[in-house]
Chain A
Amino acid sequence: MCRRMERLQRASIILFFLLLLFLNAQAQEYDILLKGGHLIDAKNNIDGPMDLAIADGKIAEVARNIPKDKAARTIDVSGLYVTPGLIDMHAHVFMGNEPGAYIANGATSVMPDGFTFRSGVTTVVDAGSSGWRNFPLFKEQTIDKAKTRVLALLNIVGTGMRSRFEEQDITDMNPEMTAYSIQKLYPDILVGIKAAHYWGGFTQVDLAVEAGKKAGVPVMVDFGEHNPPNSIEALFMEHLRPGDIFTHTYSNGPKERETIVDENGKLKPLVLKAQQRGIIFDLGHGGGAFTWKQAVPATKQGFKADVVSTDLHTESMNSGMKDLSNVLSKFMALGISLPDAILRATWAPAKVINRPDLGHLSVGAEADVAVFNLRKGNFGFLDVRRMRLKGDKKLEAELTLRAGKVVWDMNGIASEDFKE
């Protein structure tokens, strides 16, 4: 009797614990809860206080008040802005040390992970560092090893940006091979085509657009080294298709690239017309392609670049560019609002590269999330001509998550307090 009672008791205790465990497991359906933040998600029209829960590396719930006990781990993000992980649509990350090479497998490119997470970026698009001939090396060496999601525009030149001289070789601009690589070989990584650094007429652009048509992807054009410059009106209205991209929008080197603002500080009407036609304007800051002289009057006259990007490489990283959160802060110093700036580094580029799975915080999306502190103070923002514009706000990445994992935590908001 007594023994049976004991056994029963034991069994019920075990049952009780199992029930508790079950309840507990049920209660903690989320891995991470970001609580108390201000959420900005353009695709879903959210710009306000909202909690965000993550489970299995995906966005699981976005709601005004998600209880703490539903998550294994709650991170207090009150006073901070929660956004989709940023997309840097223009970077050069095919880092290597091939003799004679500069951006393709060369030292002018950088390794992505050192720059991305600390500025809230979770996806970079390499802008044509590689072409169809050396993309497989780029993939093996960098893309497959990086924690950052690395996508790429394939250069219309087979060897990509190996040297300025090789980039002139029309016989190595093969629309067939380029389109084949994009469509058949690497459709998940290659999101478009790049035409850049060409000294001649429209040949390179036309070949790139031909490849773009074959592969069904956009073309990004760096139209900067033509002397005398080619007409941007012809480029926008005749050669490019709606959805194609003009980069280095605010560059001011009128001898080689026609500017969007004329000598008298007037925005050329054709620029707005081109934007209405669907031409995408990419900021592409770089070491030499962002001037207040262009950006300030253009903004005042009602024009904004569609996408804010860095053109990250060794000549831009320590200059006025620095990183994407700095470039976004500069964009805000022009008078553009925070949600508008964030839009241009999240949902806007996702649409441009036809990747609607990225750049938003919809339930089910991969949990690429950035949390920003909007720091107040007296800041100066440098352009490429060493001109300074003042600003009183600056974005700082507090926390970055890639596929649900914390990959940057500036002040330890996702860590345990140390106890002596």
Chain B
Amino acid sequence: MKILNFKIKENIIGLILFLTVLSLQAQEIDILIKNGHVFDAKNNIDTISDVSIAAGKIVRVAPSISEKQAKQVIDATGLYVLPGLIDPHTHVFVGPKPGKFADGSNSLSPDDFSFKSGVTTVVDAGTSGWQNFPQFKSQVIDQSKTRVLAFLNIAAQGINGTEIELTKIEAEKHDINEMDVAKTSEMILEYPDIIVGVKIGHFNGESWAPFDRAVEAASKTDRPLFVECHLPEYSLKDQLDHMRPGDIITHSFENIDERMPVVDENGKLRPFVLEALERGVLFDVGHGGAGFWFDQAIPALQQGLWPNSFGTDLHRFSMNAGMKDILNVMSKYLNMGMPLKDVFLRGSYYPAKAIKREDLGNLSSGSDADIVLLSLRSGEFGFIDARNNSIKGDKKLEAEMTIRAGKVVWDLNGLAAKPFEKN
């Protein structure tokens, strides 16, 4: 009996496998991307391959997938095919209030910037807190085609200052008593698929209570802490010492009075920064309008501090400055000497891991089909930092096509279109 039972089981499993293979073969493909150079770090793919998409999901990545079942075929010859980029540092709680980040025009609409630069997921860096996250969700997150995730600010109202003397107003406005661990954690657990961590960003006092509470809320909800540099009374070393492995510090290469820079006056990376890196603290670029300086980023890169992600710190004051968009930030690193594959890794797979969303940043079968087709353009380019210094370069990444959940949402040169001449 036992043997028979085993055989039946075996047969059933065999039958199911057989049916699965059949259905995979028979399944109609909505979009087939042919002949691109697929780079999918999670699945160890780094070669010319095809990618098939159906019902908004990745069906499979394989060297040669037949065009027979495909409704649409996109020729990606000469292009890189990557998981959609993830920008872990943006400000997208956009609204009509002039001079405001939360519900204001200092934040930007995510769809205005994401797809044209290959981004399919943005993480809002604490523009909202537990008191106004629901408004952010209904007003922006639910309305956007871009996947919008968020770090929840430990400050109850998020970034609710004005553009003038932001930190000062934050300090006055943000009551420590409203930096509530329980309420922050509750909000995170109410939206576990959207809120990926906790942010500490603007605080002028010497008390470590806000920082400690942010860490506590992050620990309680098993999420990373995101540390932005506007904490002038905390030393850089103390901040790094308070961070756990997996926590993220941003504006890593900033050189302003508000925080000690990572590279000292002699151009040497401070040893305690390297120690934090070795301990597992993650460094995000967080470019912004003032957060990226070549005199920090270049020596840091040379001395071993490579950023883990290319957060843009997208907002009204960075969009038209040296930042521009994530591909421009990635191109900067490419021209600073970071190898292309390392740039790609930090564009989608690493940030997905950093926010503990390993469902993103890969092309595994069954994943949401968030994909970008990138071209590597050659020419004479220049890249600007926060001090309006520039470096020259000969390479630049461009988004040819962006696909979000299986839909073409950006098509620079009409790769997915029919030629007009033939009609």
**Residues in A lying within 8 Å of B, measured CB to CB:** 95-97, 105, 107, 110-111, 113-115, 117-118, 140-142, 144-145, 292-293, 296, 314, 317-318, 320, 322, 378-383, 386-390, 407-420
Contacts and interface: CB of A to CB of B under 8 A. Distances in A.
Contacts of A96: 95-96
B81 to A, nearest CB: 18
A141 B98 contact: yes
A296 B383 CA distance: 38
A111 B419 contact: no
13 contacts: A107-B109, A110-B109, A111-B108, A111-B112, A292-B420, A322-B412, A381-B414, A388-B418, A390-B421, A411-B390, A415-B389, A416-B390, A417-B391
B77 interface: no
B423 interface: yes
B178 interface: no
Interface centre among A96, A322, A380, A408 (most CB of B within 10 A): A380
B320 A418 contact: no
Contact of A110 (B112, B316, B385, B390): B112
Contact of A322 (B116, B389, B417): B116
Contacts of A145: 98-99, 105
Contacts of A296: 420
B417 A386 contact: yes
B234 interface: no
A388 B400 CA distance: 14
A387 B419 contact: yes
Interface of B: 94-96, 98-99, 103, 105, 108-109, 111-113, 115-116, 139, 143, 267, 294-295, 298-299, 316, 319-320, 322, 324, 380-385, 388-392, 409-421, 423
Contacts of B113: 114
Contacts of A381: 413-414
B415 A380 contact: yes
B111 A318 contact: yes
Given A113-B319, A320-B414, A380-B413, 13 more contacts: A97-B139, A110-B109, A141-B96, A318-B410, A322-B412, A381-B414, A387-B419, A390-B421, A411-B382, A416-B389, A418-B294, A418-B385, A420-B295
Given A322-B116, A387-B418, A389-B420, A412 B383 contact: yes
Contacts of B414: 320, 380-382, 386, 388
A418 B98 contact: no
Nearest to A322: B116
Contacts of B103: 97
A98 B383 CA distance: 39
A118 B108 CA distance: 15
Given A415-B384, A418-B390, A379 B109 contact: no
B418 A386 contact: yes
Nearest to A375: B379
A135 to B, nearest CB: 14
B98 A387 contact: no
A226 B96 CA distance: 33
A388 B401 CA distance: 14
Given A114-B113, A415-B389, A418-B294, A380 B96 contact: no
B381 to A, nearest CB: 5
Given A386-B417, A388-B417, A412-B384, A114 B139 contact: no
Contacts of A322: 116, 412
Contacts of B320: 113-114, 117-118, 407-408
A113 B107 CA distance: 12
Contacts of A142: 105
A379 B377 CA distance: 13
A362 to B, nearest CB: 27
B111 A314 contact: yes
Contacts of A105: 96
A325 to B, nearest CB: 13
B115 A318 contact: yes
Contacts of B267: 420
Contact of A390 (B109, B298, B411, B419): B419
B388 A387 contact: no
Contact of B298 (A97, A115, A380, A420): A420
Nearest to A418: B389
Nearest to A409: B384
Given A107-B143, A389-B420, A411 B389 contact: no
B420 A383 contact: yes
Given A115-B112, A416-B389, A95 B418 contact: no
A321 B389 CA distance: 33
Interface centre among B95, B418, B420 (most CB of A within 10 A): B420
Contacts of A117: 320
A-B residue pairs, 6 tightest by C-beta? A412-B390, A388-B414, A412-B382, A380-B414, A411-B382, A380-B413
A415 B98 contact: no
A318 B116 contact: yes
Given A387-B418, A407-B320, A318 B409 contact: yes
A415 B382 contact: yes
Contacts of B390: 411-412, 415-418
A141 B109 CA distance: 16
A387 B143 contact: no
Contacts of B322: 412
B389 A386 contact: no
